[in-house]
Amino acid sequence: MPSSAPPPASVARLELANRIFFRLYQCANMLHKTGTRAVAEDGLTTQQWAVMGALSRTKAASGMAVNELARYLMVSRQNLSGVLKRMEAAGHIQIVPDSRDRRSRIVQITIAGRAVWAHSAQPKIAAYYEQALRDFSLSDMSHTLHYFMKLLDNMKEIDATQGGGADDEP
């Protein structure tokens, strides 16, 4: 009678994959918890830190369309909407109509937001990174980034085959 149990190598692979994804899940949760604490004094959360980081790039000097920002951050427009409202109320960003397409809105970091980002949040984020990556060599960091990029590419392929779109939950 043939055995229906998977071969040991595939069981080991599944168990290891489960551990990898569970640790990734834990890391994401700890990033949100401890990262938010790192920038809480500036009235920011990790989601707001990600938005400010995206908008402070040279490529985004004139702002980003809401849809483009959602795609870049890989979040739904619905989830991003609440974050943007809170940031706009705090004066960190402004949301203006797109001069090329009045139906679209552009998110721009404000002068006050740039000041918070450059003079207060970024030094705290740099210190946070140093603590979180304390035992990582440059080689470790490079390899970690390489593997995260491979994992992200594979997950994007899964999303595309599942019919995922910009407005889907991440």
The CATH number covering residue 47 comes to 1.10.10.10
Across the chain, what does the average pLDDT equal? 92
51 within a domain of the structure (yes/no): yes
Question: Does residue 166 carry a pLDDT above 50?
Answer: no
Supply the range of the domain harboring residue 22: 12-131
- Residue 164 inside a domain? The answer is no
Residue 40 is assigned to a structural domain of this protein: yes
Nearest Cα neighbor of 49 from 134, 142, 120, 141 is 120
| Residue 82 forms part of a structural domain | yes
Write the pLDDT tens digit of every residue in 121-139.
999 999 999 999 999 999 9
Residue 168 lies in a domain: no
Instruction: Report the pLDDT value the prediction gives residue 141, as an integer from 0 to 100.
Output: 98
Q: Give CA–CA dist 12/9, Å, rounded.
A: 5
Please report whether residue 166 resides in a domain. no
pLDDT tens column, 14-36: 999 999 999 999 999 999 999 99
Tell how far CA 64 is from the center of its chain: 16
Neighbours of 160 (CB within 10 A): 10
Question: Looking at the domain assignment, is residue 24 inside a domain?
Answer: yes
pTM exceeds 0.85 for this model: yes
Between CA 138 and CA 132 the distance in angstroms is 14
Decide if 155 is inside a domain. Answer: no
Decide if pLDDT at 74 tops 50.
Answer: yes
Our count of domains for the chain comes to 1
Please give the backbone phi and psi of residue 61, each rounded to the nearest 5 degrees, phi first.
Answer: -55, -35
Model pLDDT, residue 7: 72
